[in-house]
């Protein structure tokens, strides 16, 4: 009798241990976390046979053998589709298995995902909530939530509903999240105040005030009454987003529900009404707060004042300040600083200075920032003497003035033509190592230039060079500041001529002056500066050439303007939009239609926001290709007129170009006749455009004939015939 073969040993079972277990003789004590005795199964691979997928349907699935930390899993999953490892490590193994099922199938819900999830023996609401808390695909999350609700013996709880709401809001599907109360009710779960609170909090954090009110109205339909805390949240969201009337209607519901206001409730209403500028209603609520609860303290009054100042309501701010004193509330340093700063910046510097003196009388420690705000305001209002007195008071109080305070005082002294004192303050800034900059010296440079004290001007430039100022860059900024007022342009040019003799010149300075002269119509002088720049062997930049293009077009030198455009292109740069527009109009005025249209396309291809007439020119060219050309072109012209932009040379040239290429002379004339009848174009302009139209059509016809001769190889015979005629 053959010997019996040994019985195979029973397969080892692998288990997950969750947290603490009771000790027994066969089981050790395990505390905290997730522990397991499982081993990851890895099949040997051969060079010819690819490794088998452990999740393949051909293998029976055993969750006890599934390894969520298998490195091959992350290798199969693209990084953009998976959750981060740090998040996955905080999840339970079953939740990680569900998320891996989503990832393996590209986060697309379908039969493969359902087949994977059906391998789970049991599904709990806590597991659904755990998955939804980290799932970032709203479609997969929604499908999974509804699939879980259809499983046998399963019923969603509040945790899963709340997690679904958070998931939808996190993925910007907040409108779908607002429908969860109806979904809960349809599934036999009456929503409580907590579900509505979650929705309100999400909308409030995102500043969606109207959605907050929508959820509140839905609460009333479900018969859920908010607590005082939730009412406060609703009121705050509506006030913060500017829906003041809705907030007051909610407050009426609050009172009709018999709830008692807290101090937070009153302050939300008061601050909201202050923001809306409704001082009378605010005082009514404030009076109710005094009678029913308590008087506002200094912090509450400071908050009111800050809101009113932020809205620019200085009169309301002073009324609240008087109410605070009437209530016997003593303002602190923060309250004084808020009011003084707000009044000074808002133009009521005298009232702010009175409160400043009250602070000094009460012995408060005054911050240097308050001195700076008052000094700035006094300088703006021309009270330079008071500003200097405040500087002395500041120094006597033991403070050291900052550069901003000195800059303000220098501006004020230069405005009253006390440049000598301003120069002394400049020297003080140097002695105190405050590192003065261009804002410090520019007022003095302007004052010396206006008073034509060029010796003092050069003395200041010498000090700037000693302090390592970028003198040429600062002079460029100085000239830009000077020409902001057009009446100072010629004086600025005189200063430049004096500086040029001493060698203070740069391309940037020439650009500033050329642009200023172009603006005031001094074209000849602007071109003269451009010629000087080229004669001195300076290399003009693209901005300089762009300004020169506009000047040359204004001087009817279109060919030279085109040369400047070509130089810009050779520099691998792009002209300015103004240069493009000027050159295109210049080319249109001399009948060069095709180069002008090429320039239009080049501009729109190189700049981010081209001129409106260039964009409509392309629309007209496109309309000329379609059937019913005349009507379509007139529609585009009507659209231009609605934009408040009457047709100019570029638009009319686009009509000529499009009709000559895709239409006829008669169709083009119909468009111009329509524009003349509507008084968009004058009779003289129509005659000019008609001549340009005929010349351009002749050019197109000649080009077409020449192209035909080239195509049939007759160009040589044409040249021979032409030479014979010339010899005869």
What's the CA gap between 478 and 472, in Å, rounded? 10
Q: Which residues pair with 677 in a beta bridge?
A: none
Residue 534's H or E segment, with its range, is helix 523-535
Query: Which SS3 state, helix, strand or coil, does residue 428 take?
Result: helix
461-487, pLDDT tens digit by residue?
Answer: 999 999 999 999 999 999 999 999 999
SS (H, E, C) 233-284: HHHHHHHHCCCHHHHHHHHHHHHHCCCCCCHHHHHHHHHHHHHHCCHHHHHH
Give yes or no for a contact between 67 and 36, defined as CB atoms under 8 angstroms apart: no
Domain boundaries, the chain: 12-41, 611-728
Give yes or no for a contact between 655 and 668, defined as CB atoms under 8 angstroms apart: yes
What's the CA gap between 101 and 672, in Å, rounded? 68
pLDDT of residue 375: 94
H-state helical runs in 109-157: 111-117, 125-132, 138-149
What's the CA gap between 667 and 657, in Å, rounded? 12
Say how many C-beta atoms besides its own lie within 10 A of residue 560's C-beta. Answer: 16
* Count of CA atoms in the C-beta half-sphere (13 A) of 600: 28
How far is the CA of 623 from the CAs of 294, 612, 660, 662, in angstroms? Answer: 73, 17, 13, 10
Give yes or no for a contact between 313 and 280, defined as CB atoms under 8 angstroms apart: no
The answer for residues whose C-beta is within 8 angstroms of residue 282's C-beta and 6 or more apart is 269, 270, 273, 274, 304
The answer for residues whose C-beta is within 8 angstroms of residue 2's C-beta and 6 or more apart is none
Query: Which SS3 state, helix, strand or coil, does residue 36 take?
Result: strand
Query: By CB neighbour count within 10 A (0-12 exposed, 13-18 middle, 19+ buried), where does 1 fall?
Result: exposed
238-297, pLDDT tens digit by residue?
Answer: 999 999 999 999 999 999 988 998 999 999 999 999 998 889 999 899 888 988 888 888
Which residues, given as ranges, of the chain have pLDDT below 50? 1-3, 5-6, 8-11, 14, 16-19, 30-35, 37-58, 63, 69, 71-85, 724-728
What's the CA gap between 540 and 534, in Å, rounded? 7
pLDDT of residue 34: 46
State both tokens at 705.
């004939």
Give yes or no for a contact between 405 and 391, defined as CB atoms under 8 angstroms apart: yes
What's the CA gap between 692 and 593, in Å, rounded? 9
Q: Which residues pair with 27 in a beta bridge?
A: 24
Q: What are phi and psi of 332, to 5 degrees?
A: -100, -175
């Amino acid at each position: 009798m053959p010997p019996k073969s040994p019985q195979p040993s029973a397969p080892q079972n692998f288990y997950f241990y969750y947290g603490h277990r009771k000790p027994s003789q066969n089981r050790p004590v395990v505390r905290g976390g997730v522990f397991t005795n499982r081993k990851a199964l890895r099949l040997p691979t051969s060079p010819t046979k690819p490794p088998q997928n452990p999740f393949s349907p051909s293998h029976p699935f055993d969750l006890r053998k599934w390894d969520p930390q298998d490195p091959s899993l992350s290798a199969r999953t693209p990084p953009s589709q998976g959750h981060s490892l740090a998040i996955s490590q905080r999840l339970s193994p079953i939740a990680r298995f569900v998320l891996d099922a989503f990832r393996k199938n590209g986060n697309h819900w379908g039969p493969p995902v359902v087949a994977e999830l059906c391998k789970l023996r049991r599904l709990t609401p806590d597991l659904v909530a755990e998955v939804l808390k980290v799932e970032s695909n709203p479609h997969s999350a929604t499908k999974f939530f509804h699939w879980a609700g259809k499983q046998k013996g399963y019923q969603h709880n509040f945790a899963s509903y709340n997690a679904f709401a958070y998931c939808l809001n996190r993925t910007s599907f907040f409108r779908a999240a607002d429908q969860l109360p109806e979904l809960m009710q349809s599934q036999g779960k009456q929503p409580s105040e907590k579900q509505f609170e979650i929705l309100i909090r999400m909308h409030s954090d995102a500043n969606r005030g109207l959605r907050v009110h929508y959820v509140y109205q839905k609460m009333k339909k479900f018969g859920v009454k908010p607590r005082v805390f939730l009412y406060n949240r609703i009121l705050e969201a509506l006030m913060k987003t500017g829906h003041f009337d809705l907030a007051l209607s909610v407050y009426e519901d609050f009172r009709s529900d018999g709830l008692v206001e807290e101090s937070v409730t009153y302050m939300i209403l008061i601050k909201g009404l202050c923001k809306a500028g409704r001082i009378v209603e605010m005082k009514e609520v404030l009076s109710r707060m005094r009678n029913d609860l308590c008087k506002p303290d200094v912090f509450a009054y400071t908050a009111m004042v800050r809101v009113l100042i932020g809205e620019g309501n200085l009169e309301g701010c002073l009324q609240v300040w008087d109410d605070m004193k009437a209530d016997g509330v003593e303002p602190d340093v923060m309250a004084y600083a808020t009011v003084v700063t707000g009044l000074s910046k808002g133009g009521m510097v005298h009232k702010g200075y009175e409160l400043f003196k009250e602070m000094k009388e009460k012995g408060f420690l005054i911050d240097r920032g308050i001195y700076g705000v008052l000094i700035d305001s006094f300088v703006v209002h021309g009270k330079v003497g008071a500003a200097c007195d405040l500087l002395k008071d500041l120094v006597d109080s033991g403070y050291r003035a900052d550069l901003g305070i000195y800059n303000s005082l220098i501006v004020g002294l230069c405005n009253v033509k006390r440049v000598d004192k301003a120069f002394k303050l400049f020297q003080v800034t140097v002695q105190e190592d405050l590192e003065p900059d261009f804002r410090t010296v520019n007022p003095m440079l302007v004052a010396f230039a206006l008073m034509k004290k060029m010796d003092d001007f050069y003395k200041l430039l010498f000090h700037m060079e000693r302090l390592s100022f970028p003198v040429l860059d600062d002079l460029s900024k100085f000239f830009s500041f000077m020409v902001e007022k057009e009446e100072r342009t010629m004086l600025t040019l005189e200063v430049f001529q004096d500086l040029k003799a001493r060698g203070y010149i740069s391309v940037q300075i020439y650009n500033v002056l050329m642009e200023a002269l172009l603006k005031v119509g001094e074209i000849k002088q602007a071109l003269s500066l451009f010629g000087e720049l080229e004669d001195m062997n300076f290399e003009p930049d693209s901005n300089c050439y762009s300004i020169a293009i506009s000047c040359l077009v204004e001087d009817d030198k279109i060919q030279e303007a085109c040369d400047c455009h070509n130089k810009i292109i050779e520099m691998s740069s792009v002209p300015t939009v103004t240069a493009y527009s000027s050159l295109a109009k210049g080319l249109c005025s001399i009948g060069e239609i095709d180069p002008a249209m090429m320039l239009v396309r080049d501009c729109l291809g190189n700049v981010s926001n081209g001129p409106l007439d260039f964009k409509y020119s392309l629309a007209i060219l496109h309309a000329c290709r379609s059937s019913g050309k005349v009507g379509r072109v007139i529609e585009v012209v009507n659209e231009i007129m609605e934009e408040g932009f009457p047709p100019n040379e570029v638009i009319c040239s686009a009509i000529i170009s499009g009709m000559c290429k895709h239409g006829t002379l008669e169709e083009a004339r119909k468009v111009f006749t329509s524009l003349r009848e509507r008084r968009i174009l004058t009779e003289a302009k129509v005659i000019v455009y008609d001549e340009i139209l005929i010349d351009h059509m002749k050019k197109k016809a000649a080009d077409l004939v020449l192209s035909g001769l080239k195509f049939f190889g007759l160009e040589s015979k044409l040249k021979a015939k032409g030479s014979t005629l010339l010899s005869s």
